[in-house]
Amino acid sequence: MKILIIGGGNMGLTYARSFVRAHITSRLDLRLLARSPERVSALSAHDIGTVWGRPGECVPGADILILAVKPQDSPALFETLQGLVQPQQVVLSIMAGVRIATLREALGTPKIIRAMPNLPAQIGMGMTAFTSTDEVSRAELVQVQNLLSTTGKTVYVEEESAIDAATAVSGSGPAYVYYCMDALMSAATQMGFSSAEAELLVSQTFRGAVELYSQSGLSCTDWIAKVASKGGTTEAALGAFGAGQVREGLMAGARAARDRAEELGK
């Protein structure tokens, strides 16, 4: 299986490393296409595959094309690929907001998979939602899912609209976590801890809480009940969260992110 990753940024490099590390493909079958000579040189130094600077030399021979460029660069990318993509090739796009219909029209090919990974994919702890056109075979879909799974967990969604929802929940989600962590770190420093101490307290608490949740069959509500005793400190904090509508604010933020993803797609 010959794979071509178009785009030599963080996600393109993350995928290349993950594929080789997981033995999904070999360095001989992995290709990367970069726009500038400087990026071609930089990627070549990683020794994870053959790096190209011209699409005409590498696009036709690939089985799977992975579009890993920024969405705002998609018009230039489409122009570069004009007439090169073949109907039998599978196109996997991780460009946020770029619809399947747009990809189909611009590339003139039917086999398209659209995916939304998130930042923790860089350490193999990512969450990726993906969907596909009907022309993608079951075997091809499994192949692509195996590729995506090298960077973490995956979920297939039937409707493309769910990709916008996944963008709002898991794609943008790490920023929500960092937002909450930052607020607690600020509270800790206001209470007298040093910045280093506040960072340790909060980061280890988040790490431990998520791991505890992952290893159990209990819901978040169950764990909250275990921590919060009646009339205790946790109940006081939860009361303040409720008064400040923190839960509603987070949910409203996720909806705003989904709405923006839908707008970008138009």
129, containing H or E segment: strand 126-132
How much is the pLDDT for 35?
A: 81
The backbone torsions φ and ψ at residue 163, rounded to the nearest 5 degrees and listed phi first, read: -65, -35
Cα(126)–Cα(149) distance, integer angstroms? 9
Tokens of 265: 């797609």
How much is the pLDDT for 198?
A: 98
Name residue 245's beta-bridge partners: none
Domain 3-158 fold? Rossmann fold (3.40.50)
How much is the pLDDT for 95?
A: 92
How much is the pLDDT for 145?
A: 97
Cα 149 from chain centroid (whole Å): 11
Tokens of 55: 């699409």
Cα distances (angstroms) measured from residue 250 to each of 172, 177, 247: 12, 10, 5
How much is the pLDDT for 263?
A: 87
CATH homologous superfamily for the domain 173-265 = ProC C-terminal domain-like (1.10.3730.10)
How much is the pLDDT for 265?
A: 78
Q: Which ranges of the chain have pLDDT less than 70?
A: none
Say if pTM beats, i.e. exceeds, 0.75.
yes
- Domain ranges for the chain: 3-158, 173-265
Cα 197 from chain centroid (whole Å): 31
Contact 117, 172 (CB under 8 A): no
